[in-house]
Structure 1
């Protein structure tokens, strides 16, 4: 009994999976499509609560198909670079052996890429992982399986997971199925156990087969022979539920007490729960009266939530909770029940898609506010449309904003509704920050040949020039003597006695005015 029983008795084939025969059949059908080439949906998502056999099913599928397996779980580093180096390379380049050497498909067969706990990607530890996962499920050349406990959490981060994958839901095995597995293990290990103890262990596990096996192993190690009194020391486990379980209790089962307890087991804030209710009420109400009553309950709950935010009086929280959990099921008088899947709130989806644009607009307004000595919120609420209109119509205004406000290309493109590499954006940055003109290359002066080299080494008398005569004007200025000037020049004396040159070359045109850059206050 030295080995861990959960590993020792792990299912070796899909036929050994307990409680999910339909899920195992769907997995086998998807895997057989790879024998004819890559299927349209190359990734499989196994979703369900922990301990019900998702990872064991993926490994059993690889054994049944004769595939190798490359697995990354939560204990591994799962940044974008790490997933690209391991999982993405494995899915692109045929396959590789267990030592990391790449092999051809003929030599090594297929490799199953398993990403366990794919919904647990948070913070800097897993930064850049989701874009690589999206590429993995779209372009993989090898079968890929994503294992998640909360599919809702994964779909919030990537919409491609919904459209580009095959989703298989694993259900909790029944208590009788868990009892059969525990009894089989006891016979194999020679453990003397009371049937009532097996029943208590199975009920306490609440469908978690892995937890039931570990409880049995701990009792067998501690007591040797296990009685029902020994099994009574086990305490119940706290299991967190998702929003789909709460929606099912409210709209399908219409049980106020069950909805109340499920709400306490859901790890979501009341505002998010209200959004789920708002999204699904129109589809779950089958009469006008039900719709009116449900909307009244939800509206009253929203009033209490608003008072909590304004007054910081959290005593209203219980009233808001009761209106959403107990009030809405009691408002549903129609016995008709729909079978459609509950809808994710559109508001959260739109806010997720616009997160980058909202962050860009906030940064842009902060820079404009710093330039104009205003707050970013005032720029966003009162002046943003003015700046947008001016920037779209006036190129000089764009140049000024880039130079004085320090806008980035993506910020200017967002302001004028253009891409960051568009012609208008590039031109504005070129004019705001002109490139310095390149200095001409300095060429060495040509060495003048000597007279000896030119054959002119004979003596030539040099002509000495006499200095030009100077005359004194009436105001004490010296001007050249008229007799010394050239034939085209004439001396002109004005009324004050000064003389001017009449030559056309002396006339100089005025320099053009220097172009000055405008600031915000020039517009």
Structure 2
């Protein structure tokens, strides 16, 4: 629908059946939109109501009748999306609408479309991987594109896409979060992945600017900032009950921030913060080892040794310091680090 609207010059006003619970709400949301001028001067409108068959007959009393009444009076196109249009509750809507059935896309067509996307994005995907994506999609093109996105990122990092591993799970979770249409679907992605919540936060934060429009990104970043605040409080106070707020903010908060569909295929990228930690892992391990040895000899904590002793020890070691290296039982690698390391960078790390 968004592709059609973009091609024909329509503005899409989208809502979900779960957004309204009563007749009054549907008249306020959909009814108002059907009589409201477009936000873009001269542009026509389409009202899109998704998951209309998800209306709860008890909670949404009169919603179907009210929606049918709005359709009969509206001067702009109203599009209703339903998984089961033959639900008896939707009879008034079927009478008021032209029904268009969307069948699952044939596998050859899915494969052809994926190849077209891969060629346009200069992504090389092996034929066996492409076949698996097509088979798993079961005619769902959006699902296939998400899997292609995940596979391309995995291939770029040299991962074996034939088996499910940790990074493969991360890409699946990201695809779910950024494309979820409901709160529960997005939040469930975090439950189905074996990864630290802080690391998942880094993955989402790194990819949000590429996956979301500038307007949607502003809302997503606000929710990520709130999630980060909760994660910091968890770390400092060890109050793990706050996860009930942090996880929904970083998953559903991002998913539901998306009001516009992506205009093109975008690959997921590895978080720069995690890349940096990977590149500096050996340095940090060496620094921690030295701090522990110095702290043990001087009867102080490793943290205090790193911030108060190591800066001066590095200055001494840069001249000679052979006796000190023997006294602190430093390895040749640790001695070399102290002789050639950067004092400011080491001190900054120690204070962090």
TM-score, length-scaled by structure 2:
0.49
TM-score, length-scaled by structure 1:
0.34
Structure with greater Cα Rg: 1
Higher helix residue share: 2
Higher relative contact order (CA 8 A, sep 6+): 2
